[in-house]
Amino acid sequence: MTDTTSETTPDTTPDTTLIAVLVGSLRSDSVNRKLAELLAEQSPEGVTVEIVDGLGQIPFYNEDIDNPRDIPAAAAELRDRVGRSDRVLAVTPEYNGTMPAVLNNAIDWLSRPYGAGALVGKPFGVVGATPTPYGGKWAHEDAARSARIAGATVVEDVTVSQSAVEVDVLTDPEVLDRLTRAVRTLVDYDVATVAA
């Protein structure tokens, strides 16, 4: 897995919020991949957006290989990168009315060990676009539900299910504004205040 947003180590000083992005499409020319790259390029000041690549190299979750001796390197790196992040954002299309298997598998790995996985307590949001009238709503609901069960703190106001039927989601100012505001909402979410 490599960081496509920068050739250098991201600035993760205390004043910087690090968002790990899980892209649900493996296709290099995917609209959702391009949206994730745009969000990385246009991240607000004090925010570093890292796309976690290599999800396609992670085998399906299997408890038999989830141990220090056998864990696949890609799965260990996924856990490490999400564990070091302050927030997690899934950017995903919808496949057959649900989230893509690659995203589901990533959440499975991040949910273990139970109660102490890398997602536990992390503010989590999901956005994406599909060429359907509902914009991937079912996939986004599934991803949010799965992440919540895995221990993440799902920030409902971040969810953006954008239809790409009659709009270019990569250039439309209103769409990009909605996505940028979603990232800002995720960054501004205060777990301590909400829990109080």
Mean pLDDT for the chain?
91
5: in domain: no
* pLDDT confidence band for 7 (50 / 70 / 90): very low
**What pLDDT, on the 0 to 100 scale, is given for residue 88?**
98
7: in domain: no
115: in domain: yes
Q: What is the pLDDT of residues 118-165, one digit of tens each?
A: 999 999 999 999 999 999 999 999 999 999 999 999 998 999 999 999
10: in domain: no
d(CA 196, CA 180) in angstroms, rounded, equals 27
d(CA 94, CA 17) in angstroms, rounded, equals 28
Strands (E) located in the chain: 17-23, 47-51, 87-91, 123-130, 153-154, 160-163
* Domains contained in the chain, number: 1
64: in domain: yes
Structural domain boundaries, residue 184: 17-188
Q: What mean pLDDT do residues 70-98 have?
A: 97
45: in domain: yes
88: in domain: yes
CATH number of the domain at 47, please: 3.40.50.360
80: in domain: yes
